[in-house]
Amino acid sequence: MQKKKQTNIMTVFFMLAFLLLFLIISGRYIYIQVTGEANDVPLTEWAEELRETTLVLPSERGKIYDHNGMTLAYNRPTYRVYAILDPEYSVNKAEPMHVTDPEKTAEHLAPLLDIEQTEIIEKIKDGQKNERFQVEFGNEGKDLSQEMMEEIAAMEIPGINFIEDSKRYYPNGMFASHIIGFARNTDEDEIAGVAGMEKEKDSILGGTDGYVRYHRDNYNKKLLDANEVVKPPENGDDIFLTIDQKIQTLLEDVMSQVDDQYEPKRITAVVMNPKTGEILAMSNRPSYNPNSPDDVQNWYNDVISTPVEPGSTMKIFTWAAAIEEGVYNSDETFKSGKYTVNPKVETINDHNQGKGWGVIDYDEGFRRSSNVAASKLVWEKLGTETFLEYVKSFEFDKETNIDLPNEVAGKVLYDWPSEKLRAAFGQGSTVTPIQQMKAATAIVNGGDMVEPYVIKKVIDPDTGETLEENESKVVGSPISEDTADQMIDLLDAVVNEKDGTGKPYRLEDYSVIGKSGTAQIPNPDGAGYLTGSENNIYSFMGMAPKDDPQILMHVSVTQPKLEDGESGSDAVSFIFNNVMENGLHYLNIEPDKEKVIDPIQSITFPDVQDKATSEVEAQLEKDGIDATFIGKGKQVVDSNLREGTKVLASHKVLIMTDKPTIPDMTDWSERDVLALSNLLGIDIQVNGSGFVSDQSVEADSKVKDDMKIEVDLQVPNVEEED
Task: Enumerate the active-site residues.
Answer: 312
> What single-letter DSSP state applies at residue 349?
E
DSSP code at position 202: H
Cα dihedral 278, 281, 285, 286, rounded to 10, equals: 90
Q: How far is CA 640 from CA 161, 675, 685, in A?
A: 53, 7, 19
- The string of DSSP codes covering 245-287 is HHHHHHHHHHHHHHHHHH--SEEEEEEE-TTT-BEEEEEEES-
Angle at 544 between CA 373 and CA 578, to 5 degrees: 105
CA distance to 40, 188, 238, 428, 562, per residue, from 63 (Å) = 49, 21, 5, 42, 42
AA identity, residue 321: A
Closest CA to 321 of 386, 366, 415, 375: 386
Q: Which helix (H) or strand (E) holds 174?
A: none
Q: How many CB atoms lie within 10 A of CB 68?
A: 11
Integer angstrom CA distances of residue 693 from 245, 348, 509, 584, 703: 20, 55, 27, 25, 20
Helix (H, G, I), strand (E, B) or coil at 40: coil
Residue 567: CA count within 13 A, CB half-sphere: 13
The residues, any chain, with a CB within 8 Å of residue 370's CB and separated by 6 or more, are 336, 350, 356, 357, 360, 364
Spatial CA neighbour of 692 closest among 677, 672, 671, 714: 714
**Terminal alpha carbon distance of the chain:** 127
Kindly compute the dihedral angle of the four CA atoms of residues 239, 244, 248, 251, in this order, to the nearest 10 degrees.
-150
Q: What share of the chain is helix, strand, coil (3-state, %, to 5)?
A: 35, 25, 40
Among 405, 464, 401, 466, smallest CA distance to 202 is for: 405
The residues near 117 (Cβ < 8 Å, ≥ 6 apart) are 103, 106, 107, 110
Q: Which has the closest alpha carbon to 313: 362, 374, 356?
A: 374
State the DSSP code for 154: T
> For residues 491 and 411, what is the distance between their CA atoms, to the nearest angstrom?
26
How does 607-636 read in b/e, with b if 16+ C-beta sit within 10 Å? ebeebebeebbeebeeeebebbbbbebeeb
d(CA 72, CA 243): 10
Rg (CA), the chain: 36
Compute φ and ψ for 103, nearest 5 degrees. -65, -45
Please give the angle made by the CA atoms of 438, 422 and 517, to the nearest 5 degrees.
50
Please list the residues that pair with 54 across neighbouring strands.
213
Stated length of the chain: 722
Does residue 576 contact residue 277 with C-beta atoms inside 8 Å?
Answer: no
- Please tell me whether residue 620 adopts helix, strand or coil conformation: helix
Residue 187, classified by CB atoms within 10 Å of its CB into exposed (0-12), middle (13-18) or buried (19+), is: exposed
Helix (H) or strand (E) holding 43: helix 43-51
